[in-house]
Structure 1
Amino acid sequence: MKSTARIIAGLALTGLLGACSGHKPVTATAGRPAALKPRIQPPLQAQSDRKMYYLPPPPGQWTVQDTLQVYGERVKDKLGYYFAEAEVSYPPKEVVFIALKQEKKLELWARDNGNFQLIRDYYILAASGEAGPKLRQGDRQVPEGVYRIAGLNPNSHYHLSIKLNYPNEFDLLHAWQERRANPGSDIFIHGKAASVGCLAMGDEAIEELFVLAAQVGAENVKVVIAPHDPRVYPLQVDSEDLPPWTPELYSLISREILALSSGGKSVKTGAF
């Protein structure tokens, strides 16, 4: 077992260039489009003025806190309506994003002290690949599974980005069993409308998702990615090309989504 753990840990370090990493470095190196600069940048005429205005750092040097300063109130105003409709406090205690590849939709679920409630949904503007899990670097597949947030990048080439912990333990275990040395890495939810292996949400949507994730705390956010909505029809393996462990994966995904949805109520949603 110790040998297996070392092999799996080694696999986690492979895949130096991920599906989107060439466009969205996790470090703060990318420039921010001029159109996304904050609208309020008055001159500081006195020391007291510094308490009235926020001046962000130069492009490429933003922190998560800078992003909250610029977009936080705007996101709160927009999402506040949906949270009020769902009778969930803002910011909530826990959040789940459900991404449905076939439907090109991402659902936002949240809760405070009660059951998870559907807050709203968003269109996924771009997601490459087809039904089935991601297996290797360069296969252009959006992964399928249950993930956590590995990091928030406020200096993404794609406006803002949320990094997922792909490959997770499930992915690494099956990669090791099948001797796949490079299962891939660097999977993001990000802005803009183009992507290879990631979920491109557009700039307005990623501002909401990024700010919410930062306010709730990455450890309190779960991301479930499914080939299609199992609440409409079951997740089934309909291709011999899929790996033999796919039914196990689809059972896990289905349980997560169905358990989440069983306690929630339908609310007015507003996909972009």
Structure 2
Amino acid sequence: MNSKIEHILLVMLAALLLTACTGGSKNPARTGGKEVFRLVKKPHSTNSGAAMPTIVQETMPPPILGEGHRTTDDVLYHFRPYVRQQLMPYFRNAGVSYPPKKVTFIALKQERKLEVWAGDAGEFRFIRDYDIRAASGVTGPKLKQGDKQVPEGIYRIVGLNPNSNYHLSMKLNYPNEFDWFHAEREGRYDPGSDIFIHGDSVSAGCLAMGDKAIEELFVLTAEVGHENVKVIITPRDPRVLPLDPNGYGLPTWTPELYRMISAEMEFFSDELRVSNSRPIYPARSPIR
């Protein structure tokens, strides 16, 4: 008798869940990031002390396809709930909605930091920063394929790669118009390409952020829209110490490049690091 009641309850609960989760889709597990459930039996003691099986609904982690086959939607489905949980406190402290309208990533090569700034309208607010795990090369712009230099300048994200060899990656529009203009003037017809912000901790001209950080950056970029994300890469923080364009081996157009970077960085001043209630982190001391 108990087995018969158990069977009836199982059928009824399964029918209810199917009705609630299908939503007219043949594959609800890949559309909209809904939770996936399974039915499990767990022991339950009655008043007489006898153990009776109870049918319960248990949340399962969402599935994700293996690398080489997954889409950006797959990545969002798998990581978005966790990333939102991680980032929402930072956005609340900054007084910025999530997802915001626009985002700027500021990569500081010398400090090995990548700052996230975001805004809904008007000024940007500091959200948080991440350690850059690896960034090959030295101070100065990227000039040619194979020099292993992380570029310097103002860039856009032009693509998201959910099947990167480095977990996840976001491609920059290097070389941009500024880079091409000076390369052509100097007869450099192979200034390099395929510069990414990616996971892992190895670099040959890219910004390696580690897997956890790239998951957050990738999901944030996808939710904002990569066309609404700007990336500033600077040799060091010009808000602390002015950039020096006269270093050994720097091209003659470096002063123009550093003026552009410094002017862009004026929109991201230390005053804007302070939320309505308290500083998010102290202002930096000068680099020694």
Question: Where on the TM-score scale, by shorter chain, does this alignment land: which range?
Answer: 0.7 to 0.9
Normalization by structure 2: what TM-score?
A: 0.75
CA distance in 2, matches of 1:93, 1:74: 21
Residue 115 of structure 1: CA displacement?
Answer: 1.3
Please say which of residues 123-132 and 236-245 is displaced more in the overlay. 236-245
CA distance in 2, matches of 1:238, 1:173: 21
Contact 2:108 2:234 in 1 (8 A): yes
Please list the CA deviations of residues 3-27 of structure 1 after superposition, one character each: whole Å capped at 9, or x if unmatched.
xxxxxxxxxxxxxxxxxxxxxxxxx
CA distance in 2, matches of 1:127, 1:206: 14
Contact 2:124 2:267 in 1 (8 A): no
Residue 262 of structure 1: CA displacement?
Answer: 6.6
Which of 155, 159, 162 aligns to 2:170? It is 162
Residue 238 of structure 1: CA displacement?
Answer: 3.2
Residue 139 of structure 1: CA displacement?
Answer: 0.4
Residue 263 of structure 1: CA displacement?
Answer: 6.4
Please list the CA deviations of residues 144-174 of structure 1 after superposition, one character each: whole Å capped at 9, or x if unmatched.
0000001000001101001000000000000
Number of the residue aligned with 1:232 = 240
1:81 aligns to 2:89 (yes or no)? yes
Q: Secondary structure at the match of 2:193?
A: coil
CA distance in 2, matches of 1:182, 1:101: 23
CA distance in 1, matches of 2:125, 2:103: 10
1:106 aligns to 2:118 (yes or no)? no
Please list the CA deviations of residues 28-68 of structure 1 after superposition, one character each: whole Å capped at 9, or x if unmatched.
xxxxxxxxxxxxxxxxx888275642433343111111110
Which of 140, 151, 173 aligns to 2:148? It is 140
Larger Rg: 2
Contact 2:123 2:267 in 1 (8 A): no
Number of the residue aligned with 1:221 = 229
Residue 237 of structure 1: CA displacement?
Answer: 1.7
Aligned residues: 226
1:128 aligns to 2:136 (yes or no)? yes
* 1:1-272 → structure 2 map (5 Å cutoff): 48=18, 50=28, 52-53=35-36, 54-261=62-269, 264-266=272-274, 267-268=279-280
Contact 1:237 1:247 in 2 (8 A): yes
| Larger RCO (CA within 8 A; separation ≥ 6) | 1
Please identify which structure carries the higher strand content. 2
Q: Secondary structure at the match of 1:225?
A: strand
Q: CA RMSD in A?
A: 1.8
Contact 1:117 1:263 in 2 (8 A): no
Q: Secondary structure at the match of 2:145?
A: coil
Following superposition, which runs of at least 4 residues in structure 1 exceed 6 angstroms of deviation? none
Number of the residue aligned with 1:32 = none
Residue 185 of structure 1: CA displacement?
Answer: 0.1
Normalization by structure 1: what TM-score?
A: 0.79
2:237 partner amino acid: D
2:152 partner amino acid: E
**Structure 1, unaligned runs of 5 or more:** 1-44
Contact 2:273 2:280 in 1 (8 A): no
CA distance in 1, matches of 2:259, 2:82: 38
CA distance in 2, matches of 1:182, 1:256: 27
User: Residues 89 and 58 (structure 1 numbering): CA distance in 2 closer, same or farther, change over 3 Å?
Assistant: same
CA distance in 1, matches of 2:269, 2:170: 24
1:61 partner amino acid: H
1:180 partner amino acid: R
Aligned-pair identity in percent equals 59
